[in-house]
Amino acid sequence: MKRLIPILLATTSLSLAQTPASKPAAPPPGAPAYAPIKFGALTVDVQEKMRFEVRENNFDFNSALNGPQDASWLLQRFRLGLGYDVNPWLKLYIQGQDVREIGGSRPNDIGTFGAEGDDVFDILKAYIQIGNIKKGLSSTIGRQFLSYGDQRLVGPLEWLNQARTFDAVKFRYAAEKYALEFFVSSPVNFTNNMWNQSGFLDNDESLNAYFSGLYLSTAFVPFNLTTDFYVYNKRDDGDASFGAAIGDTDFYTFGTLWKGDPKKLSGFDYTTEMAFQTGEVSGRDLTAFAGHWAVGYNWLKHSWKPRFGIQYNYGSGDSNAADGDIGTFQNLYPTNHLFYGYMDTTGWINMHNPQLNFSFMPTAKLKVMLDYHLYWNATNGDAWRRVNGVLAVRPVNAAATSAGSFRGQEIDLTAIYKLNPHTAIQAGYSYFMAGDYLANTGAADDAHFGYVQVQFDF
């Protein structure tokens, strides 16, 4: 139980001081919510999800090579959850999960060559909830999802077959116009044929990653859906993700999220999220910034509910790897799949990403989305990093630093059909057109990604 006791003592003292908390983000459009089966105080929930994927050149942009990611496979996920309401202010919950990757040529080890892999039935969630999370002071202790704001920095990454979970202690205070949440956590590592563990519990785990935060969600701006403010702290023993480790990681992220309500803005909406980081990453001084700015118009009275939007995303990069400092924005634990292209080539790091977004609902059950992305490096002195924020598309060398900065463009077509409250079907196709940066640094073939997904929730 490495470092667990002092952390519990710290969080307990904060709870006694009545430190409050935030509301989790809503699920992506079209995703059916759980409708648990009830047997008195006992609840049972079941999920089955299957997604068939076809990918070509997504990782190497090279048609001459047929790598393990250039294939098709079936992803399967089964979950079974049990909850018990001991009384109105005490709830127990546990959820198991089994994930499999069937077919294709990727290894079945999660994370190897981008594989989502296998993880035979294991514990995804297991927590005690004390108090009413909708009113007053409450706490959630144990293995759980963390989801804040739009999930650009912290989310459960439900698109990924195994998702993301934390061993955490979380305290929340909910009032009429605000909610404040404080948490201390450690991310859980998924390993097949072994119990999944985090740095809280695994004495053999060397990184010792801990993640804590304070998130305030408010309704104080009358024309906003939410007006949020947050601070996160990430610390670990350092690794080589952003250069050879010469010390520990310990940095803070300060940010704010504002979302306009189209019903109060005559059909217009807007979103802005900005975050500043300072501290140390593997012993290097960190100063970084990222921002998201978007505006849109909703035809509220039209039966198809069309929306057209434009947005711009920026994440800073490190222009000089030799100066002992780091300017690369640290993307923390996001659900990036929702934001920067469904082909998952890009994280909120070292990037310029303008977008056009269009969506409509020809029926109450069907939503269609069309997105157009452009991508540039913020600096060629840093890597173009994939959706996980760590893996680089191309090495940083002389060819990369002197290349053009335009990565390319992507078109995403997505359709979500909610058959009934328990069943959702989703399909999509993405096409990536390679730009100068790829052409100047190696292979530059266009890439394709298609999928069909069905999900059942009870």
- Whether pLDDT at 30 is above 60: no
Residue 334 one-letter amino acid: P
Decide if pLDDT at 17 tops 50.
no
Q: Does pLDDT of 9 surpass 60?
A: no
- Whether residue 247 is predicted with pLDDT greater than 60 in this model: the reply is yes
pLDDT bracket for residue 244 (50, 70, 90): confident
Cβ atoms of 66 and 59 within 8 Å: the answer is no
Backbone angles phi, psi at 263, to 5 degrees: -70, -20
Non-local CB neighbours of 32 within 8 Å, separated by 6+ positions: 418, 421, 422, 423, 424, 455, 457
Give 28's pLDDT tier (boundaries 50, 70, 90).
very low
Question: Are the beta carbons of 139 and 169 closer than 8 angstroms?
Answer: yes
Per-residue pLDDT for 100 more than 50?
yes
pLDDT at 175 over 90: yes
Mean residue pLDDT of the chain comes to: 90
In angstroms, the Cα distances linking 154 to 165, 336, 386 are 11, 10, 17
pLDDT at 12 over 60: no
The mean pLDDT value for 338-358 works out to: 97
What pLDDT score was predicted for residue 183?
98
Which of residues 24 and 286 earns the better pLDDT score? 286
E strand spans, 220-283: 224-236, 249-260, 268-281
- Strand 119-130 relative to strand 325-326, pairing: unpaired
Whole-angstrom distance, CA of residue 354 vs CA of residue 346: 13
pLDDT 10s digits, 265-302: 999 999 999 999 999 999 999 999 999 999 999 999 99
Residues pairing with 144 in the sheet: 166
> CB-based burial of residue 344 (10 Å sphere; 0-12 exposed, 13-18 middle, 19+ buried)?
buried
Once rounded to an integer, what is the mean pLDDT over residues 404-412?
98
Task: Please tell me the number of Cα atoms within 13 Å of 267 on its side-chain side.
Answer: 11
pLDDT, position 207: 85
pLDDT at 1: 41
Structure tokens at 456: 């059942």
C-alpha to C-alpha distance for 233 and 163, rounded to whole angstroms:
22
- Asked if pLDDT for residue 366 goes beyond 60, the answer is yes
393 closest CA partner among 449, 439, 332: 439
pLDDT at residue 13 above 60?
Answer: no
The pLDDT, as a whole number, for residue 23 is 35
Please state, in angstroms and as integers, the Cα–Cα distance from residue 354 to each residue in 271, 293, 339, 390, 441, following that order: 14, 10, 11, 22, 23
Confidence of residue 111 (pLDDT cuts 50, 70, 90): confident
| Confidence tier at 2 by pLDDT (50, 70, 90) | very low
pLDDT at residue 337, as a whole number? 94
| Residue 107: count of CB within 10 angstroms of its CB | 15
Structure confidence at residue 203 as a pLDDT band (50, 70, 90): low
pLDDT at 105: 86
- 243 touches 321 (CB < 8 A): yes
pLDDT for residue 15: 32
The pLDDT of residue 418 is above 80: yes
- pTM (2 decimals)? 0.90
Residue pair 375/407 in contact (Cβ under 8 Å)? The answer is: yes
- Domains detected in the chain: 4-457 (2.40.160.100)
- CA-CA distance, 39 to 299, in Å (whole number)? 43
d(C-alpha 97, C-alpha 105), whole Å: 23
Q: Does pLDDT of 215 surpass 90? A: yes
Give the pLDDT confidence of 46-69 residue by residue, as tens digits: 999 999 999 999 999 999 998 888
